[in-house]
A and B are shown apart, each in its own frame.
Chain A
Amino acid sequence: MIGMDRTELAKILFSGTMLAIGLVADHVLHADEISLVAVFGLGYIVCGYDIYNECYHNLKHKVVFDENLLMAVASLGAFLIGEYPEALAVVTFFSVGELFEHMAVDRSRRSISSLVDMIPETTNVIRDGIMVTVDPGDVGIGETIVIKPGEKVPLDSVIVSGSASVDTKALTGESIPRNVIAGDEVLSGMVVLDSSLTARTLRVSDDSAVSRIVELIEESASRKAHAERFLTVFSRYYTPSVCLASLLIFLSSMLLGCDTYGSLYRALTVLVVSCPCALVISIPMGFFSGIGCSSRLGVLVKGGNYLEAMNRLGTVVFDKTGTLTEGRFSVIGAYPTVDDIDILAVVARAESLSDHPIAKSIVQSYGRVPVPPDSSENIAGAGILSVFDGKRILVGNRRLMSMYGIDIPDTEIAGTAVHAAMDDDYIGYILIGDTVRDGALETVSELKASGIRTVMLTGDSDAVAKDVAKELGVDSYRSELMPEEKLTILEDIIDKAEGTVAFVGDGINDAPSLARADIGIAMGGIGSDVAIEASDIILMNDSPVGVVSARRISRKTMRIVYQNVVFALGVKIGIIVLAAIGHANMYLAIFGDVGVSVIAILNAARCLSTRGMRVGKND
């Protein structure tokens, strides 16, 4: 607890004690008026001082309708009409409410600063062949650092030597450690578990993962949801309206024959419930906590507005490769149509000079380093023409085969086939596949179960797309798309959609689609600047389940936010009505102010809890 809060607490305790003494003196000891004024007045001055001080500053700056002024008027009015205990109770509980609000909001803020603690205070860096211990902020790019077992990775780096298990929980929410070897990247915030790593730094401290995440979350607080904007406007009108209502209640009570004291009491009671603090604080706090909660699960949401949009989610459009599937090709099988030919060897040799991911996967699957062909020519969009051992080897798709007049035997092929021909003869094909990502199935089925339409877009062949679409059960898919066609189709979906449309992609070549969708969701973590720029939600895990977590968190956050709005307004309006007809006393009004604040804030704090928000094995 900070020093200021401790002083506040002392004042509250003093005023609370005075309130108790005063009540006993009044009701049990039947003390005289002068003593009561002294006891209640002393307590009133201690807790009321701050309120009056704020009023003075506000009035100096021409701020009239402020909760402090209302509390000052209401309590002073109560004191003057002889309701001393009520007056003291108003200022005391008002201070209790403020103190509580501070503490709750601070707690919500700390959920973010616990991430900052993931940056270690020192790091071991090798300079001129000697290991020195320095502040991570003083380490530049390209320096060599040593991370020992149990230490946190200080800066984003690439491993030069060593291998280890690393705990990535702080970044990805994933509790199972990941194994890393030389050449892999480690990010700040990860914890090296079992052995030392030597690594070369890729980014300075301020640009490393943890700092970027903290910055994104802090930035997110300034992207307001509609609910928040509405409330800012609403509270601007709410307080003056209540003051007006208070005046009208006073006048009408007088006209209807109520005595001056009674009418004043009614009017003052209404003033006490006029403070919109409960709502005004609980709503941004709810969104901030919801965003904090999702960051713990490895889902970075860039603003409350996106949580709000996720709540109205109607359609999710997935890019296939790298999102629903691993994006890594592997050979499923080799199907020669001619005996005595090792078709994998021939194709691997023919493709050994190509950079195409499929070619690479074939060479990798061959397992040996092929002898380079005598010549190799890339035929765009079709395949490769290579020459070796005095033979012309064609490797590629159906189009390449027909370009050279080679007939492909009529067989049903499920998947991507790489056909091969030697001179003028077809020699068979190699079947290439891409595996479905962990969690893709759960993601699609939970979205569908919530009534959300799922669409898959891909540049791959129809056969492959059909296979994956069937395996995952997506509602519809489009295949053989050029990148710009994906954007056109997405726009078409957005035009026709009920509810919001999210696009999930790997962030590298989907930037336009990520930016165009109502909610752009990028997979692949904090590493890619393009993904962070273009997207609204970033999944730190290599699994699409983050989409479901984000949706669950958004549903819960919005539910809590709406609960607070309805509850707080309902209670306040109810009390105003009761007060107008003379059935509410000031204690009830204090509950309508402080009690409602406390309840709304406690409710908003529930947004921080990750329970039930995780999908799959950790649920």
Chain B
Amino acid sequence: MKATYKLEGLCCPNCAERVQTRVLEVKGVQSVKLTFMTQKMVVMVDDEVADTLLPQIEALIKDLAPKVKLARL
């Protein structure tokens, strides 16, 4: 399934790339696209694990970039 997030307060494109790389490393994530200018992240995850995976991804982002305000769209 597809989930879209808004990451407000990302500091720069490098941070965006770092977050993208780390989220992609999470097992069960098929693809991640995080665009700095739009602050939007689209993640594709395996359907059956989505319920546990999405909170895991959210926690990871909070930990990686504590200043970012994360919202599911």
Q: Do A and B bind each other?
A: yes
* Residue of A whose beta carbon sits closest to that of B36: A284
Q: Please give, as numbers and ranges, the residues of chain B lying within 8 Å of A109 by CB-CB distance.
A: 37-39
- Our count of residue pairs bridging A and B at CB distance below 8 angstroms stands at 53
B2 part of interface (Cβ distance < 8 Å): no
B36, B37, B40: most-surrounded residue (chain A CB, <10 A): B37
- B12–A57 contact, CB under 8 A? no
- A232–B13 contact, CB under 8 A? yes
Report the separation of the CA atoms of residues A235 and B12 in the bound assembly, to the nearest whole angstrom: 12
Q: Please give, as numbers and ranges, the residues of chain A lying within 8 Å of B72 by CB-CB distance.
A: none
Which residue of B9, B11, B12, B37 contacts A288 across the interface (Cβ within 8 Å)? B37
B-contact bits for A316-336, CB 8 A (1 contact / 0 none): 000000000000000000000
* Residue of A whose beta carbon sits closest to that of B16: A284
Which residue of A60, A108, A281 contacts B12 across the interface (Cβ within 8 Å)? A281
Report the separation of the CA atoms of residues A32 and B39 in the bound assembly, to the nearest whole angstrom: 48
- B37–A221 contact, CB under 8 A? yes
Q: Which of A97-105, A509-517, A537-545 contacts B (4 or more CB under 8 A)?
A: A97-105
Q: Please give, as numbers and ranges, the residues of chain B lying within 8 Å of A579 by CB-CB distance.
A: none
B-contact bits for A49-89, CB 8 A (1 contact / 0 none): 01001100100110100000000000000000000000000
Report the separation of the CA atoms of residues A276 and B65 in the bound assembly, to the nearest whole angstrom: 19
| Docked complex: A282-301 residues within 8 A CB-CB of B | 284-285, 288
- B63–A60 contact, CB under 8 A? yes
Q: Please give, as numbers and ranges, the residues of chain B lying within 8 Å of A98 by CB-CB distance.
A: 11
Minimal beta-carbon separation of A359 from chain B (angstroms) = 49
A491 part of interface (Cβ distance < 8 Å): no
- B38–A54 contact, CB under 8 A? no
With A54-B67, A57-B66 as contacts: A280 and B37 at CB distance below 8 Å: no
With A4-B9, A4-B69, A285-B37 as contacts: A61 and B14 at CB distance below 8 Å: no
B11, B18, B22, B67: most-surrounded residue (chain A CB, <10 A): B11
- A232–B14 contact, CB under 8 A? yes
- A57–B64 contact, CB under 8 A? yes
B17 part of interface (Cβ distance < 8 Å): yes
Q: Please give, as numbers and ranges, the residues of chain B lying within 8 Å of A53 by CB-CB distance.
A: 66
- B18–A63 contact, CB under 8 A? yes
Report the separation of the CA atoms of residues A281 and B10 in the bound assembly, to the nearest whole angstrom: 11
Q: Please give, as numbers and ranges, the residues of chain A lying within 8 Å of B37 by CB-CB distance.
A: 105, 108-109, 221, 284-285, 288
A222 part of interface (Cβ distance < 8 Å): yes
Q: Please give, as numbers and ranges, the residues of chain A lying within 8 Å of B65 by CB-CB distance.
A: 57
**Which size bracket describes the interface of A in this complex?**
20 to 34
Which residue of B9, B14, B35, B64 contacts A222 across the interface (Cβ within 8 Å)? B35
Q: Please give, as numbers and ranges, the residues of chain A lying within 8 Å of B12 by CB-CB distance.
A: 101, 277, 280-281
- A280–B35 contact, CB under 8 A? no
- A61–B64 contact, CB under 8 A? yes
A218 part of interface (Cβ distance < 8 Å): yes
- A218–B14 contact, CB under 8 A? no
Q: Please give, as numbers and ranges, the residues of chain A lying within 8 Å of B69 by CB-CB distance.
A: 4
* Residue of B whose beta carbon sits closest to that of A50: B67
Which residue of B17, B36, B66 contacts A54 across the interface (Cβ within 8 Å)? B66
Report the separation of the CA atoms of residues A7 and B6 in the bound assembly, to the nearest whole angstrom: 21
B-contact bits for A217-245, CB 8 A (1 contact / 0 none): 01001100000100010010000000000
- B38–A221 contact, CB under 8 A? yes
A-contact bits for B52-73, CB 8 A (1 contact / 0 none): 0000000000011111010000
* Residue of A whose beta carbon sits closest to that of B22: A61
Minimal beta-carbon separation of B33 from chain A (angstroms) = 6
- B35–A57 contact, CB under 8 A? no
Minimal beta-carbon separation of B68 from chain A (angstroms) = 10
Which residue of A101, A105, A232 contacts B17 across the interface (Cβ within 8 Å)? A232
B-contact bits for A135-164, CB 8 A (1 contact / 0 none): 000000000000000000000000000000
* Residue of B whose beta carbon sits closest to that of A63: B18
- B63–A61 contact, CB under 8 A? yes
* Residue of B whose beta carbon sits closest to that of A214: B38
| Docked complex: A1-18 residues within 8 A CB-CB of B | 2, 4
Minimal beta-carbon separation of B11 from chain A (angstroms) = 7
Report the separation of the CA atoms of residues A53 and B64 in the bound assembly, to the nearest whole angstrom: 11
Minimal beta-carbon separation of A72 from chain B (angstroms) = 15
Minimal beta-carbon separation of A308 from chain B (angstroms) = 16
Minimal beta-carbon separation of A229 from chain B (angstroms) = 11
- A284–B9 contact, CB under 8 A? no
Minimal beta-carbon separation of A14 from chain B (angstroms) = 19
| Docked complex: A247-295 residues within 8 A CB-CB of B | 276-277, 280-281, 284-285, 288
B9, B38, B39, B64: most-surrounded residue (chain A CB, <10 A): B38
Report the separation of the CA atoms of residues A221 and B41 in the bound assembly, to the nearest whole angstrom: 12
Give chain A's interface residues, CB within 8 Å of chain B. Answer: 2, 4, 50, 53-54, 57, 60-61, 63, 98, 101-102, 105, 108-109, 218, 221-222, 228, 232, 235, 276-277, 280-281, 284-285, 288
Give chain B's interface residues, CB within 8 Å of chain A. Answer: 8-9, 11-14, 17-18, 22, 33, 35-40, 63-67, 69
- 7 more A-B residue pairs beyond the given contacts A53-B66, A57-B65, A277-B12, with a C-beta to C-beta distance below 8 A: A57-B63, A61-B22, A63-B18, A218-B35, A218-B40, A221-B37, A221-B38
A-B contact pairs, 7 of them (CB 8 A): A57-B66, A61-B63, A63-B18, A108-B37, A109-B38, A109-B39, A284-B37
Q: Which 6 pairs show the lowest CB-CB distances between chains A and B?
A: A221-B37, A288-B37, A218-B38, A221-B35, A222-B35, A281-B12
